[in-house]
Amino acid sequence: MNQLISFLLVGLLYFSSTFAQKEEVLLTYPSDLPFQTVNDTEYYHLEATLMIRKILSDIITVIEKKENKNRDVEFTILIKNNYGAVLPINYLVEATPYTSEVSKNLFMKRSYDWINSSFRSNIPYKDE
């Protein structure tokens, strides 16, 4: 009886790890920018855009380092400002999010727009 229970537990653990096709990555960034503000200065928009581009660069680095192409990657992006506030942004990237340079650019634009929804920078994504 104990062998049967042990076998079932090992089997359940194996199947749960097989079906857990998601990996989690935590990215943390300091910021002096307020979140979701009506602030309309050039400094605010430029700083928000630079921070979002840094986040996207880190996301692409993590995605391209992953050898296993059949796993989703869930990013938890924590942005901590100088006033003690923390803004968590959850972003799920499906396995193999792009296959060509055109689809990579589209992925970057959509990711930029999603993260920018927290900052509302008026500088649009543009691949350089």
pLDDT tens-digit series, residues 57-94: 999 999 888 765 678 889 999 989 887 888 898 999 98
Instruction: List Cβ<8 Å contacts ≥24 apart for 55-63.
Output: 55/27, 55/29, 55/115, 56/108, 56/111, 56/112, 56/115, 58/27, 59/27, 59/91, 59/93, 59/111, 60/108, 62/25, 63/93, 63/97
| pTM attached to this predicted model | 0.75
Q: What is the pLDDT of residues 26-65, one digit of tens each?
A: 999 998 877 666 767 887 788 888 899 999 999 999 988 8
Label the pairing between strands 86-93 and 72-81: antiparallel
